[in-house]
Amino acid sequence: MSRDAALMVGFHSRQMLRNSFFVQLIVVTPVSFVAVKALVAYGLGAPLGDQVWFEAGAAGMWSLTTMSAGMIGFQRFQGTLPLLAVSPHGAARIFVPLVASTACSGLLCFPVAVLAVLVCGGQVGWSTSLLMLVSVVLFAVGCVAAALTIAVFFVLTRHAIVYEALLVIPVWMVSGIVTSLDSSPVYLRWLSVLSPLTGPVATVRALLDDADPSLVWLGLSACATVSWLLVARLGFRDALDRARSRGTLALL
């Protein structure tokens, strides 16, 4: 990432953190996730798992990621989308930091999840393995790739924001955030290959459970991330051309 792109991501992130809606998402989603897990553990008489903090943080980060694509719809609402689309800097330099900033802001969900687990009397597991850091980074990059792909539809369809919330729970299930894919139906495991988040979640869960992580899942997620980025690049260019030709960039 270039210095200019990093500065733009930082700028957009600061703007969003001044918005109570995004701050609420960063806090409420991981806290709610931990609370539900704690209630289930209490009902079963079992301790809160060491990996719950990561699951809750991942759930919160993905929830924020789905909202990040709506930033383009918000630019249309403000009337600034046509100006951004014709910028001499190019669409990628303008829209990638805009969309990626909210997904990156979702990293704040992890410390919130850690605090929620400690308040509930749980333990925060951690691994010194390099795979732990690689998995967290790959999860964040996967969220950005997914956000950019989803953003294509927010350029093509003015009412795509209506379907924004419908992306949260299905991806939680497909990626194994809610429960391990080992106990999921076979068709869900096949679908999980398409998610760039599956490998990092499975790897972190295995590391915190003192099990051997599967590098195959991590490799598949890396391939899925690259594929989503390519789809986003090609789709975004086509979406902007279609919106320009139809004259819908400025229409609500």
Average pLDDT, the chain: 81
Would residue 251 count as lying in a domain? no
**pLDDT score, position 246:** 64
Range of lowest pLDDT (5-14, 117-126, 153-162, 192-201): 153-162
Would residue 109 count as lying in a domain? yes
Range of the domain at 110: 1-246
Would residue 237 count as lying in a domain? yes
**pLDDT score, position 56:** 93
Pick 29 or 245 by higher pLDDT. 29
Instruction: Rounding to the nearest 10 degrees, give the CA dihedral for residues 84, 90, 96, 101.
Output: -50
Q: What is the pLDDT of residues 89-106, one digit of tens each?
A: 666 677 778 777 877 888
* CA dist., res. 75 & res. 221, Å (int): 31
Would residue 46 count as lying in a domain? yes
* CA dist., res. 233 & res. 250, Å (int): 22
Would residue 252 count as lying in a domain? no
Structure tokens of 224? 């899925």
Range of lowest pLDDT (10-14, 134-138, 162-166): 162-166
Domain count, the chain: 1
* CA dist., res. 117 & res. 37, Å (int): 10
Q: What is the pLDDT of residues 46-83, one digit of tens each?
A: 888 888 999 999 999 988 888 765 666 666 666 666 66
152 and 70 in contact (C-beta within 8 Å)?
A: no
57 and 113 in contact (C-beta within 8 Å)?
A: yes
Whole-prediction pTM: 0.84
Which residue from 29, 46, 177 is spatially nearest to 113, judged by alpha carbons?
Answer: 29
Structure tokens of 160? 């795509």
Give the type of residue at 89. H
Q: Is the pLDDT of residue 27 over 90?
A: yes
Would residue 19 count as lying in a domain? yes
Work out the average pLDDT over 129-152: 86
